[in-house]
A and B are shown apart, each in its own frame.
Chain A
Amino acid sequence: AQSVTQLDSQVPVFEEAPVELRCNYSSSVSVYLFWYVQYPNQGLQLLLKYLSGSTLVKGINGFEAEFNKSQTSFHLRKPSVHISDTAEYFCAVSRSGDDKIIFGKGTRLHILP
């Protein structure tokens, strides 16, 4: 079975500073990896996904993530955050394109002025 671990429940960062949100996964088979964002009082929106190919994946709003198979990680990064990035970020994994998605516990990104 697949699982996802998000090591940080909250990450405070100053505006315009870089940020990295950590995600590790476990699976005995090849996986697809995702990052979703949940803005306050809203649903889940896909930021980016890794299915195959280049290990560096670029998403919306200036975010990117790098798939590292040897470290079973898929950390999310942004070089300069904005106050509008305040949200909950969920790392997720699925076994194949048509399998259910399993979510991590989420990391709350708190932007400090």
Chain B
Amino acid sequence: EPEVTQTPSHQVTQMGQEVILRCVPISNHLYFYWYRQILGQKVEFLVSFYNNEISEKSEIFDDQFSVERPDGSNFTLKIRSTKLEDSAMYFCASRKVGGELFFGEGSRLTVL
């Protein structure tokens, strides 16, 4: 069964460092998303991406964040200069047109 895969599963970084989280969506999906979940809190929408551009972003998704689909398979989330409060589980998701959202297993980011 096709699935969304995310790497790394866990990354520890120093405050101020750049981090790139990688996702490989399901191959025939067209809509891509990043969500985050701070420990013990709800899953929050960050950004949606369609047709090679951001279609919607939340207030959380400020200038420190960016997304890219550098090739036909990867979908990346970059955090330019990490802050302590960026520590969270980051989930990538994808879907077909009108289809359900499929989530990856998540990438846990710990900022020290």
CB of A101, distance to nearest CB on chain B (Å): 6
> Interface residues of B toward A: which range?
20 to 34
Cβ-defined partner of A98 (8 Å) among B91, B93, B97, B104: B97
Which residues between 32 and 47 of chain A lie within 8 Å of chain B, taking CB atoms? 34, 36, 42-46
Is there contact, CB below 8 Å, between A97 and B43? no
Tell me whether A42 and B105 are in contact (CB under 8 A): yes
CA distance A101 to B31 in the complex (A): 12
B18 on the A face (CB < 8 A): no
Q: Within the complex, which residue of A45, A102, A105 is in contact with B103, where a contact is CB–CB below 8 Å?
A: A45
Q: Which of A44, A97, A100, A106 contacts B56 (CB 8 A)?
A: A100
Give A98 to B45 CA distance when docked, in angstroms.
14
Q: Contact at B42–A98, with CB atoms within 8 Å?
A: no
User: Residues 70-112 of chain B: 1 if any A CB is under 8 Å from the residue's CB, otherwise 0?
Assistant: 0000000000000000000001010101111111111000000
Contact A90 B56 (CB under 8 A): no
Task: Among B42, B48, B99, B102, find the residue whose CB has the most chain A CB atoms closer than 10 A.
Answer: B42
B-side contacts of A100, CB under 8 Å: 33, 45, 48, 56
Interface hits, B20-79 → A, CB 8 Å: 31, 33, 35, 41-45, 48, 56
Residues of B within 8 A of A (CB): 31, 33, 35, 41-45, 48, 56, 91, 93, 95, 97-106
A-B contact pairs, 14 of them (CB 8 A): A42-B105, A43-B104, A44-B43, A45-B103, A46-B100, A46-B101, A90-B43, A97-B97, A98-B31, A100-B33, A100-B45, A101-B45, A103-B44, A106-B43
